[in-house]
Structure 1
């Protein structure tokens, strides 16, 4: 079995990817996005951190989180988020039924993939590349034609702050746009 090693940097900023079990589109249901927001708020109240950027797609989530100065434990926060969200679903939510023997043995649910992907942000340029990746992700996956058309993203917050223009990588006017090169990020994004 491979040995996974994560980088833990106190006060660091981390790009994170969480994927649903068998890529089931749990977040196609708007109510589940509300459950996710509630779970995230609870985790932040228990273990503070800043959400620098985020996007929620039907079967996965990307975050940029910055931890407090002396704190490096993003894994604990992700574990808690997964548990709280899973508990919030109740029995009404339809999920994949084909659990493996391994998942049954470890009493794992059919909501999340076991692992998650992380990347420690190195500098401002690295932060910007990952933030752009997050905001372009709904377009990359063919869910919308332009970033501003996706509601479940921090993109709109960055437009209000004047960091992005509302037509950032927008093709609404029929213009052909140059697609950003995210090849290096794809290697570590878990997609």
Structure 2
């Protein structure tokens, strides 16, 4: 078993990816009602700011900012996964998840863009505006943004 260490920063901003154990399933979008309710309940129980969030059929991405003095994103993800598991009546998650500590404004922008562009990257839609399970719509409205297709050679 590897000796994996997570970075903890009080009030820090982090990017995450959580995946289904069986990546062939579409549970997350097929049961988006459960995902949304579990996410709302997790945020209500242990508040944090969602900077970006996107649910795809077999995985999800998030960028969170924790409150000052708070380092417990693992507890929040544990609570979220448990809520989903209990609502579905089955275990669906890979036991671990990927996290990255945001280190600069450029790093933040890159991760937010990656999260929002992910449905296009995976061929689920041609335009980010078409994907309903994302904070892209809120982000665009709050920041007065428009979206144009990137060049064919753009890789995120």
What TM-score comes out, normalization by structure 2 length?
0.93
User: Would you say how many aligned residue pairs link Structure 1 and Structure 2?
Assistant: 155
Aligned to 2:51, the other structure's residue is in SS state strand
5+ residue gaps, structure 1: 91-108, 171-176, 183-191
Q: Distance in 1 between matches of 2:6 and 2:148?
A: 33
Aligned to 2:143, the other structure's residue is in SS state coil
Look up the match of 2:148: 168
Look up the match of 2:86: 87
Q: Distance in 2 between matches of 1:158 and 1:179?
A: 25
Q: 1:55–1:152: 8 Å Cα contact kept in structure 2?
A: yes
| Greater mean deviation of Cα atoms: 154-163 or 11-20 | 154-163
Give the CA RMSD over aligned residues: 1.4
Which residue of the other structure, out of 143, 155, 180, is the alignment partner of 2:124? 143
How much does 1:123 deviate? 1.1
Runs of 4+ in 1 over 2 A off after TM superposition: 167-170, 177-182
5+ residue gaps, structure 2: none
How much does 1:43 deviate? 1.2
Which structure's CA Rg is the greater one? 1
Q: 2:10–2:71: 8 Å Cα contact kept in structure 1?
A: yes
